[in-house]
Amino acid sequence: MTYVEIFLAFFIPGIIGYGGGPASIPLIEYEVVERYQWLTVDEFAEVLALGNALPGPIATKMAGYIGYDQAGVLGASVGVFATVAPSLVLMIVLLGLLNKFKESPKVKSMTLFIRPTIAVLLGLLAYRFFANSYSDVGIWQTLLLVIVSYLLLQRWKIHPAFVIIGALVYGALFLG
Amino acid sequence: MEQGKLFLAFFRVGLLGYGGGPASIPLVHKEVVEKYKWMDAEEFTDILAIGNTLPGPIATKMAGYIGYRVAGVLGMINAIIATVVPTIGLLILLLTSLASFSDQAWVQGMTKAVVPVVGVMMAVLTWDFFEKAKAGLGWLKSGVLFLLSFVSIGLIDVHPGIIIVTLLLIALYGPVRGMEGGER
């Protein structure tokens, strides 16, 4: 049963996640946190943070780790397979046909049409992280971390990996 | 021999591609077009365009398809494993070793500090997607879609998949004229 659930949890984000890895993050969160409750919001944030600090595609990293966490190496394989296989098979089978449609405005508008929805999903996810942080460490620590990491990431363009490492060190020293 | 080259090419891409799938596209181009010359730049662009019309992570779609082209089904599996497995291994190693100290106060502190930071990253992505939607769909249409999505997902708690599939069908079959956006 677990394997089927792992497959479904990553298959759905895999086939509706138009717009690459980042678009599928909130869809994965919906499945693993809200639907199957394999992780809490905080645990999901931790996986996402460390996943972002490591190289390589994010969606498959999340699928691999969460699958492993639930059901070992086979679980990890099922998660990655469900993320990768469906659209890859489509691509190989339909290549000739797709070649004809790749300039079609309707096909191009598909990614465009779901962007506001993905934005809402990402926004709700951000809100959940902030709300959790508020109840974990209070308003002042949350504000401090939010403002400092925003400035580092957006204003000074520090690489996310370093910002996350910095947050981990800060947390270990001051929030333990 | 081809399998060894495939593995190395995508192994390097997987380990150097900081910033997720889209960030690794130029690296794939470097390996596939410039270094091993498995295809020319034009064909690469075609495959990228087609990959972008399909859902799911782009890096593994590219790896799988190019692997398949170069060395059949085995090549496909090989290239995907090379892209994905090394960093999943690292992530599992990191998180399981952290988990074994999870009752320590300092580890709990680390988790707590990281939550708002990821919140900021998601907020930045939110803005990014909203801006891109506005650029492609216009202010009004993206605003309406944004509101409808917020009400149905945030307030009524509809599965996001239902909303997305509906929108995809409208994009394909609805009375939509060609639009200027659609970059990527």
DSSP secondary structure string, B8-56?
A: HHHHHHHHH-TTHHHHHHHHHHIIIIIIS-SS-HHHHHHHHHHHHHS-S
In this model, does residue A29 exceed pLDDT 90? Answer: yes
Out of A65, A110, A174, closest to residue B92 by CB: A65
- The number of beta carbons lying within 10 Å of the beta carbon of residue B19 is 16
Among A61, A119, A86, residue whose Cα is nearest residue A7: A86
Question: What whole-number distance in Å separates Cα of residue A137 and Cα of residue A174?
Answer: 11
Question: What whole-number distance in Å separates Cα of residue A70 and Cα of residue A1?
Answer: 11
Which one has a higher pLDDT value, A176 or A65?
A: A65
The reply to whether A73 touches chain B by the CB within 8 Å rule is no
Look at residue B178 in the predicted model and tell me its pLDDT. 47
- The number of beta carbons lying within 10 Å of the beta carbon of residue A121 is 29
Out of A21, A114, A150, closest to residue B120 by CB: A150
Taking only residues 139 to 158 of chain A, the set having a beta carbon closer than 8 angstroms to any beta carbon of chain B reads 141-142, 145-146, 149-150, 153-154
Taking only residues 30 to 69 of chain B, the set having a beta carbon closer than 8 angstroms to any beta carbon of chain A reads 46, 49-61, 64-65, 68
In this model, does residue A62 exceed pLDDT 70? Answer: yes
Q: Is the CB of B182 less than 8 angstroms away from the CB of A159?
A: no
In this model, does residue A98 exceed pLDDT 60? Answer: yes
Question: What whole-number distance in Å separates Cα of residue A47 and Cα of residue A44?
Answer: 5
Look at residue A107 in the predicted model and tell me its pLDDT. 74
Mean pLDDT for A38-43 is 94
Highest-confidence range of A3-12, A95-104, A107-116, B54-63, by mean pLDDT?
A3-12
Q: Is the CB of B116 less than 8 angstroms away from the CB of A108?
A: no
Q: Phi and psi dihedrals of A57, rounded to 5?
A: -60, 140
ipTM at complex level: 0.85
- Nearest chain A residue to B10 by CA: give it: A56
Q: Phi and psi dihedrals of B179, rounded to 5?
A: -125, 165
The reply to whether B162 touches chain A by the CB within 8 Å rule is no
Interface A-B: count of C-beta contacts within 8 A: 365
The reply to whether B146 touches chain A by the CB within 8 Å rule is yes
Look at residue B119 in the predicted model and tell me its pLDDT. 93
Look at residue B79 in the predicted model and tell me its pLDDT. 96
- Per residue in A119-162, pLDDT tens? 999 999 999 999 999 999 999 999 999 999 999 999 998 888 88
In the predicted model, residues of chain B with pLDDT beneath 70 are: 19-21, 175-184
Look at residue A152 in the predicted model and tell me its pLDDT. 95
Among A30, A34, A88, A32, residue whose Cα is nearest residue A57: A88
Among B182, B146, B142, residue whose Cα is nearest residue A123: B146
The reply to whether A71 touches chain B by the CB within 8 Å rule is no
Rg (CA), chain B: 21
The reply to whether B72 touches chain A by the CB within 8 Å rule is no
User: Is residue B46 classed exposed, middle or buried when 0-12, 13-18 and 19+ CB atoms within 10 A define those classes?
Assistant: middle
Only one residue has tokens 């939509």, namely B176
Grouping H, G, I as helix, E, B as strand and the rest as coil, residue A33 is helix
- The number of beta carbons lying within 10 Å of the beta carbon of residue B26 is 10
Which one has a higher pLDDT value, A4 or A105?
A: A4
Q: Is the CB of B117 less than 8 angstroms away from the CB of A167?
A: yes
Look at residue B184 in the predicted model and tell me its pLDDT. 36
Among A71, A63, A54, A60, residue whose Cα is nearest residue A31: A63
Only one residue has tokens 């470097």, namely B30
Q: Which of A38, A88, A159 to mutate to test the interface with B (most CBs of B within 10 A)?
A: A88
Asked if residue A56 lies in contact with residue B87, where contact means CB atoms within 8 angstroms, the answer is: yes
Asked if residue B31 lies in contact with residue B10, where contact means CB atoms within 8 angstroms, the answer is: yes
Question: What whole-number distance in Å separates Cα of residue A123 and Cα of residue A117?
Answer: 10
B19: left (phi over 0), alpha (psi -120 to 50) or beta: left
Only one residue has tokens 């070649």, namely A99
User: Is residue A176 classed exposed, middle or buried when 0-12, 13-18 and 19+ CB atoms within 10 A define those classes?
Assistant: middle
Look at residue B182 in the predicted model and tell me its pLDDT. 41
- Per residue in B126-164, pLDDT tens? 998 899 889 888 999 999 999 999 999 889 888 888 898
Only one residue has tokens 């792992």, namely A6
- Nearest chain B residue to A43 by CA: give it: B111
H/E run at residue B132: helix B105-137
Grouping H, G, I as helix, E, B as strand and the rest as coil, residue B182 is coil
